[in-house]
Amino acid sequence: MAEQFIRFDVAQYLKTPEEMAAYLDACFEEDAGDGVLIRCALNDIARAKGMTQIARDTGLGRESLYKALGSTGNPEFATIMKVMKALGLKLHATAA
């Protein structure tokens, strides 16, 4: 019998704002400094909440959000901040 695998999608497991914040916080800690992991995490969280709703809340087009947060995206900082606000998340800094 051949094994069957399904693609893991973290967005299916992000149910609460606390889980979403913890996931993003972990990605901030593990990001290599290029922002790729953070962009991917924001994409996962936005999909978990519903990209259409996030697009409405940010005033950006849904397709634009998919492109900006996708694997080849390079979102502007203003876009990141709009998405964070729409997700109900805050960005803060602590001393390293």
End-to-end CA distance of the chain: 51
Instruction: Kindly state the DSSP code that residue 12 receives in the 8-state scheme.
Output: G
Instruction: Answer whether residue 94 shows pLDDT above 90.
Output: no
User: What CA–CA distance (Å, rounded) separates 24 from 2?
Assistant: 36
pTM: 0.90
Residue 7 pLDDT level (bands cut at 50, 70, 90): very high
**pLDDT tens across 71-82, in order?**
999 999 999 999
- pLDDT at 93 (0 to 100): 87
User: What CA–CA distance (Å, rounded) separates 11 from 93?
Assistant: 25
50 near 57, Cβ under 8 Å?
A: no
State the average pLDDT over residues 28-52.
96
Instruction: Answer whether residue 65 shows pLDDT above 90.
Output: yes
Residue type, position 71, single letter? S
83 near 54, Cβ under 8 Å?
A: yes
Number of neighbouring beta carbons within 10 Å of residue 11: 15
